[in-house]
Amino acid sequence: MATFPNLDAALFSKLTNDNGVKTIVTARVYSLFAPEGATMPYVIFYEADGKIPNTCPRDTGDVVYRVESRATSLAGGVALHGAIYTALHESSLTVSGWTNYALTCTREMRFPEDLSGVQYFRFVWDVRIRLSKD
């Protein structure tokens, strides 16, 4: 039985090594949630939907990750959101033992929010990752 790959590690590596994202958030990229008191802007990502389709003899995966940017200014949020798109859309992830044959930003959401009386901006990409076992 094949082991499904660690996409968290692959996505973390992609985001933290991309110059556009790195310029804005340095090392503030987190899996699932940001630590309490994290300085904005930052990025969080998590698996939103995943499946192993089993539609062919080879192991495949079709997973959607949600990648969120949070910033205290609209301009900062827009810049980070764009950098994430540039880093991920129609790109690829390095996943040992697997081939990532499609990586696309498929849905966009934008939310102005209030946290303890402070307004911030949350931008979201749904990122579809399709891969097959080598």
CATH number of the structural domain spanning residue 51: 3.30.2000.30
The residue written with tokens 């959607």 in the block is: 64
CB 93 within 8 A of CB 18: no
- Extract long-range pairs of 52-56: CB within 8 Å, 24+ residues apart: 52/4
Predicted local distance difference test score (pLDDT) of residue 52? 66
Look up residue 86 and give its amino acid: T
User: Is residue 115 one of the residues assigned to a domain?
Assistant: yes
Residue 1 has pLDDT above 60, yes or no: no
User: Is residue 1 one of the residues assigned to a domain?
Assistant: no
Q: How confident is the model at residue 116 (pLDDT cuts 50, 70, 90)?
A: confident
Structural domain range at position 111: 7-133
Residue 79 has pLDDT above 50, yes or no: yes
Predicted local distance difference test score (pLDDT) of residue 39? 92
Over residues 45-76, the pLDDT tens digits come to 999 987 766 666 678 888 999 999 999 999 99
Q: What is the number of structural domains in the chain? A: 1
pTM above 0.75, yes or no: yes
Rounded Cα gap, residues 94 and 78, in angstroms: 27
User: Is residue 19 one of the residues assigned to a domain?
Assistant: yes
User: Is residue 127 one of the residues assigned to a domain?
Assistant: yes
Contacts of 29 (CB under 8 A, 6+ apart): 12, 15, 16, 21, 42, 43, 44, 45
